[in-house]
């Protein structure tokens, strides 16, 4: 808020005005407003002050100030006339709003709304799209593994399966970026993480990219969600491959680093785990570097990229409590460094007893209630479970499943149910069945668990899944 005389001279300045313009109160008080007004806007001030001196209503207006450091800021002025005790016009009170800041805040708010809408949309897409992918992946896997088919037919089936997996990756990017998937943070050993990923990364890179990795001695476990950390490294790998046009050298190193108190990411000072990925690609121009993490920003040709890869990386890493750094030199290459917090001593680990079970070892013909509203997915799951030796009763929605379970003489060992269904969702179904069947074991299936408040003890299986993943998840229900 500023006080201005009717002749256009500053009378009083508040701290916000000094912060906005860079001038101190002493530098502005007593000086004409015109001295810090952009010359082309001075003409607009004349009718304004004339209206003020005549006591007429003052309109909200916009103008530009030239700051002490030479910057030009656009402001909005809301003015009111002040009269003295004799009701004579005395001076003006101006409320000055920084329009550049307001517009930036508005854009940020709109972006946040867009991201929320994207998250809701992604949840809906994931449910329907992953149902399709689950069917495609399962049947193509069956064909690819069928020894009675010819080599070409099995190769075609494998290509279908690989394409479906790419669809899975895109859906997971949407879910991760929109924060619709809950984190399952555990103590992750860097060596185990990278060795497990190596067989997945090499096919992505192709034969003409030399891939090497190293874990520095004594690098402690980090605290992360295993699948989302893998997605971060895979996204960075794909980005590096594209930057090298499929030919070059890629180096992945894990080590521990000390983060200083004055770090630019706002991280708590201390030791962090660092995953550093260096490529020999084309590099990133300085004017582009500041935009690489923006959603949907891409320098690739239309149809060659979604602009979600690096945005997803940053979103995941921030959720994990870390940060991403990028350094690049045009014509030399780019280095991305992912910083993640170390795992505390009491952090859960992927213990041996949590590894996938062998379905045949625990399958004793248990009676399962399978509840799934998508007919194709329901048929697929029924066939897979029945062939594995389970007795399967199917229902197309939660209400139907509840009705079947309530019939006299029906004894159920387990229920496998989708979450998002009409009439009665999967969480409510399991909860109600457990009250009447105390020994019942329940398994929730969904493409987007983040859309629901799932009780922690409830086992879950993400869509799309392979036949082995489905059988492993069901087998775990009945493991002693």
Query: Contact, 202 vs 211, CB < 8 A?
Result: yes
Q: Which two tokens stand for residue 301?
A: 């040709």
- pLDDT 10s digit of each residue in the chain, 480 long? 789 999 999 999 998 899 889 999 999 999 999 999 998 888 888 888 998 898 888 888 899 999 999 889 999 999 999 998 888 899 999 899 888 888 877 776 676 666 666 666 666 666 677 778 878 887 887 788 788 888 888 888 888 877 777 677 666 655 655 555 556 788 999 998 888 778 777 777 888 999 999 999 989 999 998 878 888 898 899 889 989 998 999 999 999 999 999 898 889 999 999 999 999 999 988 888 888 888 766 655 544 454 567 888 888 899 899 999 999 999 999 999 999 999 998 877 753 333 344 444 445 789 999 999 888 889 889 988 998 889 999 999 999 999 998 888 888 889 999 988 877 888 889 989 988 877 889 999 887 666 566 776 788 888 778 788 889 899 988 886
Instruction: Starting at the earlier edge strand, list the strands of the sheet with 441-446.
Output: 391-395, 367-371, 414-418, 441-446, 460-462
DSSP 395: E
The secondary structure of 453-480 as a DSSP string is ---TTS-EEESS--HHHHHHHHHHHT--
- Ordered by start, the domain boundaries in the chain are 2-103, 184-355, 356-477
pLDDT of res. 417: 93
pLDDT of res. 124: 64
Assigned CATH class of 2-103: alpha beta
Q: Selecting from 3.30.565.10, 2.40.170.20, 3.10.290.10, 3.40.50.300, what CATH number does the domain 184-355 have?
A: 3.30.565.10
Query: Contact, 210 vs 301, CB < 8 A?
Result: no
Q: Which two tokens stand for residue 87?
A: 């009701």
Instruction: Starting at the earlier edge strand, list the strands of the sheet with 2-5.
Output: 10-13, 2-5, 89-98, 72-83, 61-66
d(Cα 306, Cα 295) in Å, to the nearest integer?
9
d(Cα 169, Cα 428) in Å, to the nearest integer?
29
DSSP-based three-state secondary structure for 241: helix
Backbone φ and ψ for 269, nearest 5 degrees, come out as -60, 150
d(Cα 55, Cα 69) in Å, to the nearest integer?
35
Q: CB within 8 A of 476, min separation 6: which ones?
A: 356, 357, 459
For domain 356-477, which architecture applies?
3-Layer(aba) Sandwich (3.40)
Query: Contact, 312 vs 176, CB < 8 A?
Result: yes
Instruction: Give the Å distances, CA to CA, from 385 to 59, 90, 360, 399, 476.
Output: 73, 86, 11, 22, 14
For residue 22, the tally of other CB atoms under 10 A from its CB is: 16
The secondary structure of 248-283 as a DSSP string is EEEEEEEEEEEEPTT-TT-PPSEEEEEEEEEE-S--
pTM, to two decimals: 0.48
d(Cα 169, Cα 175) in Å, to the nearest integer?
10
d(Cα 122, Cα 453) in Å, to the nearest integer?
17
CA-based torsion, 125, 127, 131, 137: positive or negative: positive
Q: Do domains 2-103 and 184-355 have the same CATH topology?
A: no
């Amino acid at each position: 808020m500023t006080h201005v005389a009717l002749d256009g001279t500053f009378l009083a300045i508040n701290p916000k005005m000094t912060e906005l313009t860079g001038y101190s109160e002493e530098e502005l008080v007593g000086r004409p407003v015109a001295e810090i007004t952009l010359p082309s806007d001075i003409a607009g001030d004349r009718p304004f002050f004339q209206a003020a001196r005549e006591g007429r209503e003052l309109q909200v207006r916009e103008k530009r100030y030239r700051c002490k450091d030479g910057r030009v800021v656009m402001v909005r002025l809301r003015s009111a006339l002040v009269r003295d005790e004799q009701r004579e016009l005395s001076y003006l009170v101006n409320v000055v709003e920084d329009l550049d800041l307001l517009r930036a805040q508005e854009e940020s708010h709109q972006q946040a709304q867009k991201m929320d809408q994207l998250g809701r949309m992604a949840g809906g897409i994931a449910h329907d799209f992953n149902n399709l992918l689950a069917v495609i992946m399962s049947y193509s896997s069956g064909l690819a593994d069928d020894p009675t088919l010819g080599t070409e037919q099995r190769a075609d089936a494998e290509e279908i399966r690989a394409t479906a997996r790419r669809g899975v990756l895109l859906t997971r990017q949407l879910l991760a970026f929109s924060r619709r998937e809950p984190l399952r943070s555990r103590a992750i050993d860097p060596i185990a993480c990278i060795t497990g990923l190596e067989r997945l990364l090499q096919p992505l890179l192709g034969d003409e990219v030399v891939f090497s990795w190293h874990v520095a001695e004594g690098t402690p476990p980090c605290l992360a969600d295993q699948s989302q950390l893998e997605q971060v490294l895979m996204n960075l790998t794909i980005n590096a491959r594209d930057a090298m046009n499929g030919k070059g050298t890629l180096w992945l190193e894990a080590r521990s680093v000390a983060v200083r108190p004055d770090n630019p990411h706002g991280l708590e000072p201390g030791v962090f785990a660092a995953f550093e990925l260096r490529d020999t690609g084309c590099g990133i121009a300085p004017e582009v570097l500041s935009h690489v993490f923006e959603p949907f920003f891409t320098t690739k040709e239309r149809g060659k990229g979604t602009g979600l890869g690096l945005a997803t990386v940053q979103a995941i890493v921030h959720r994990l409590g870390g940060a991403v750094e990028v350094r690049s030199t045009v014509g030399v290459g780019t280095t991305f460094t992912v910083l993640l917090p170390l795992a505390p001593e009491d952090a859960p680990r992927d213990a041996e007893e949590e590894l996938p079970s062998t379905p045949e070892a625990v399958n004793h013909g248990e009676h399962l209630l399978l509840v799934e509203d998508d007919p194709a997915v329901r048929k697929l799951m029924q066939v897979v479970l029945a062939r594995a030796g389970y007795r399967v009763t199917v229902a197309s929605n939660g209400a139907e499943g509840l009705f079947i379970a309530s019939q006299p003489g029906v004894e159920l060992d387990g229920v496998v149910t989708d979450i998002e269904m009409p009439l009665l969702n999967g969480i409510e179904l399991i909860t109600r069945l457990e009250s009447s069947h105390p020994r019942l074991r329940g398994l929730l299936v969904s493409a987007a668990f983040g859309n629901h408040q799932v009780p922690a003890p409830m086992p879950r299986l993400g869509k799309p899944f392979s036949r082995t993943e489905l059988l492993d998840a069901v087998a775990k229900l009945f493991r002693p």
